[in-house]
Amino acid sequence: MEWVSPKELARRLGISRRSVFRLVSAGKLPEPVRLTARMVRWRWEDVERFLSSNANRSRRGGKHD
């Protein structure tokens, strides 16, 4: 199991660290796991699964296929 920090997640997705948290708030990324009061991490496999699931949902429900 691979854990990624907000900085690493932002790097992998090609977005800013702030955008990571905006996408979480908008429901476009999964919630992180809080390891301590000041440390959060994501399971990389959870992020990949979440993004894949949302991409498939968008394709099925889109009117512009």
User: pLDDT tens for residues 14-36?
Assistant: 999 999 999 999 999 999 999 99
Q: pTM (2 decimals)? A: 0.81
Instruction: Say if residues 42 and 3 touch (Cβ distance below 8 Å).
Output: yes
End-to-end CA distance of the chain: 35
Domain segments of the chain: what residues? 3-61
Pairwise CA distance, residues 26 & 3, whole Å: 22
Write the DSSP symbol of residue 34. Answer: E
Residue 23, both tokens: 């996408």
Residue 24 contacts by C-beta under 8 Å, 6 or more apart in sequence?
A: 30, 31, 32
With a cut of 50, say whether residue 65 has pLDDT above it: no
